[in-house]
Structure 1
Amino acid sequence: MGQTEDSLLDTAIIRTLQLDGRESILDLARALGVSRHVIAERLRMLTERDGLRVVAALDPGVAGHHVLTHSMVSVDGPVAPTAEEVARLPNAVFVSIASGERPLVFESRHSSSRELLETLESVRAIPGVREIRVTTYVDVLRGFFVAQSRNEISLDELDRELITALQSDGRASYRALAEVVHRSPSAVRSRVQRLITAGVIRIAAIKSGGLSSNRFATGLGIALAGRSDPVRKFILESESIEFAARSHGAYDFVATAVGPSSTEVLAAIEALRGLDEVATVETWTHFNLVKEDYTRAIGRV
C-alpha cells in the first residue's frame, strides 16, 4: 500500500472512529475493505506516531458546564510560552497555535459567566497577551463531545468509575473494565451502553500533539449575510467539517475543516463561501495542538 493510499485509509479509520470509537477491528476491516492485519497495523501507527487516542468525553451539561467559548488571542513575541500557560488553566479544554493575527486559539468551559470572566482575567494576566476575542457557543452542532441526543439519568459510583476508565482508554475491553470496577463483563457492557445511549458520554477518536501530514486542520469564523438554516445544513452534511457550533460574538458560526490535504479543506471552504447566506469566512490554520483534554469534567459530576 502506497503512501497516498495509507493516508486515505488513515483518514477513513479516524473518521469511522470519530463516529464510534469502540468499532471493532473486524468491523473496521469489513467497512473499509482491507484485512484485519492492515487495520491493526494502521491503528498502531496512528497511535504511536500521530498520537491518536480513543477516549470518552463527558457531555458538558452533565458536568455542569453551561458556558462554552472560543477565544482567539493576540500575543507579543513567541506564542508557545503563552499557549503553555493557557493550557495549564483547568477550564481550557483545547489550546492551539495557529496562523493569523490572533495565533493563540483556545476553547474553555465554565459553570457560569462569572467563571468565564475569571478565566479571561487569568489569561489577560499572562505576559505577552495583548487582546482576546471571545465567541460564545450557543449550540454545538458537530464535535467530539456531542452526542446525538441526551436523556436525563442518575449516575452512581459505578457509572463514575466506568467514565473515568473510559476517559483513559475508550477502547478498553469489557473484560478489562470489569476488572477495574469489580463487576461482570455483561454488567459493565450494559452500563456502558446505557451511558452512551443516554448521551452522558461519547466515545470517539481524537488527535493529540502535533498535526500530522495526513490531517490538515483549518479553523473557520463564519459571519452571516442571511438566514442561518442553509449554513447549518451545509455544516451538518459536509464530510470535511469536523467541529461546528452556532455562536454569538465575533462569529455566527465557528467550525473546523479537516482533511488529508489542503486541497480538500479549501474545496469545503470555497463551497461555504459560495452560499448566498454567508457574508465572510475568516480562516486560521492550526499548526500545533498544545492541549485537547475533555476528561477533567468527571470530577464535577
Structure 2
Amino acid sequence: MPAESLNDLQRRIVAALQVDGRAPWRKIADTLGEPDRTVARYGTGLIESGRVVVAAVSHSEHSMVLACKSASGTARLNGEALAQRSDVTFCYLTTGSADVVAEIGYRENLKELLSLQLPATAGLQSLTAFPVLKYFKTIRGWRTGALTEAEDQAMLSRTGPDRTEWTIPETRGPKDDDIIGALQEDGRVSVEALARRTKMSETSVARRVEWLLGSGQFSIRALVDPALVGFDVEALLWVRAPSHNVEALGRELRTWPEVRYAAAIAGDAQLIVNVTVTTHLELYRLLSRGIWEEHATHVSTDLIYESRKRGGRSM
C-alpha cells in the first residue's frame, strides 16, 4: 500500500466503511454530511488504488495463533509462505523472538496442521501454537476515531456491532460458498453481480447474504494499513494473567480505542492483543496504565514492522 497518509474526508470514508463495508456511497455521504459525488469519487479511488480493501472474512470453527521463529534471514520468506495459505487470516513480521505471528483457522485437521503442514513451511525453524479460546474484539470492531458517536451509530443500523462468537454449520446451501467466495474477492460486489455469478435471483441472493452475515458465517471488513490513517506504531502484546482475571481484563481491553484485536488463548500467555498508536511514547503510556498491574502478571511487547496479510487478504 502507498505510504502517504489520507486526508480528513478520506479517513472519514474509511471509518464509515469499517462500520459497514457494503454501505452505498449515498448512505455514507448522508451520514458524513458530504456531497454524494465527492464521497463516491474519493471512496472509489481508495478502493481502486488498493489503499482500502473491502472483503469478506470467512469465520472458522476454531482458530489458533502461531508464534513462529524463522531460520536466520528467512522471516520474510516464512511470513510470505504463511500469508499464501487460504486458512491464514493475518500474518505479521515482528521484533519479538517469534519473528512471524499469524492466525490460522481449522476444523478437524489440527493434527495434520501441526505435525505435517506447518512444519514444512519455508523458512520456519520452530513454532508455538496458541489455540484461541474466546475473542473479545476482532478488527471489525476497531475504529479509527474519525466518526462521531452519532455517525458511528447511523452506520451501524444495518450491520450491528462486532461479532466475537459464531457457530459454523456442518453444511451450507449449495450456492453459499460461491457467494462467500465472490465477497472475499470484493466485499462491495453488487447483488446483481452476485446473482449473475451464482445463477440465482437477486431476491434469493440478497436473502442468502443477509442470512450468512446474520448467522456469523462471515463478516465484511474494510482493511487498511493503520499508518495510512495516522497510527504509525503497531504492536502485539502477549499478556500473562491469573485465569480469574482474564475475563475482566479482556472486557476492559475491548473498550480501548487503541486495541484492534484481543483474544483469550491457551498456552504460556493468556491473552494476545493487537494495538495501534501514533508514537512510541503513546505505546509506553498505554503499557504504563494501572490495569496491567491490577490484572496481569507479565506483558511482553513485540512491534509489528510489516504486515503480510490482514483480514484474510495479502497486503
TM-score by length of 1: 0.79
Q: Is 2:105 aligned against 1:81?
A: no
Of residues 186, 192, 196 in structure 2, which corresponds to 1:169? Answer: 186
1:134 matched to 2:134? The reply is: no
The 3 A distance-change label for structure 1 pair 33 and 182 is same
CA distance in 1, matches of 2:198, 2:34: 35
The answer for the alignment partner of 1:299 in structure 2 is none
Q: Which amino acid aligns with 2:174?
A: E
How far has the Cα of 1:131 moved from its partner? 3.6
Amino acid across the alignment from 1:84: E
Q: Which of the numbers 102, 112, 116 marks the counterpart of 2:113?
A: 116
**AA matched with 2:111:** R
Tell me which residue corresponds to 1:240: 258
Please state how far the C-alpha of 1:28 moved relative to its aligned partner: 2.4
- Could you tell me how far 1:189 is from its partner in structure 2? 1.4
For 1:201-235, what per-residue CA distance to the aligned partner results, in whole angstroms no more than 9, with x for missing partners? 21111237x96463432211111156113211212
Contact 2:135 2:165 in 1 (8 A): no
Q: 1:190 to 1:110 in 2, by over 3 A?
A: closer
Tell me if the contact between 1:53 and 1:206 (Cα under 8 Å) persists in the aligned partners: yes
Q: Distance between the aligned counterparts of 1:110 and 1:272, measured in 2?
A: 36
The alignment partner of 1:249 has SS state of: coil
Cα distance in structure 2, aligned partners of 1:155 and 1:163: 11
The partner residue of 1:228 within 246, 254, 265 is 246
Contact 2:6 2:229 in 1 (8 A): no
Partner of 1:104: 100
Aligned to 2:230: 214
- Residue 180 of structure 2 aligns with an amino acid whose one-letter code is I
Structure 1 match to 2:26: 26
Work out the CA distance in 1 between the residues paired with 2:249 and 2:9: 29
**Residue 242 of structure 1 aligns to which amino acid in structure 2?**
R
Q: Which residue of 1 aligns with 2:275?
A: 257
- 1:140-195 Cα offsets, whole Å, 9 max, x none, are 22224873553666522222221111111111121222222233322221111111
Change (3 A) 1:152 1:100: closer
Compared with structure 1, are the counterparts of its residues 170 and 43 closer, same or farther at alpha carbon in structure 2 (3 Å cutoff)?
A: same
CA change 1:49–1:197 in 2 (3 A) is same
Task: Report if the CA contact (8 A) 2:88-2:312 is conserved.
Answer: no
- Partner in structure 1 of residue 214 of structure 2: 197
Aligned to 2:46: 46
Any idea what SS the aligned residue of 1:232 has? helix
Structure 2 counterpart of 1:223, which letter? R
Cα separation, partners in 2 of 1:193 and 1:167, compared to 1, 3 Å: same
**Cα 1:78/1:161, change in 2 over 3 Å:** closer
1:284 aligns with 2:302: yes
TM-score (norm. length: structure 2): 0.76
The residue aligned with 2:148 is none
**CA shift for structure 1 position 265:** 5.1
Shift of 1:116: 3.0
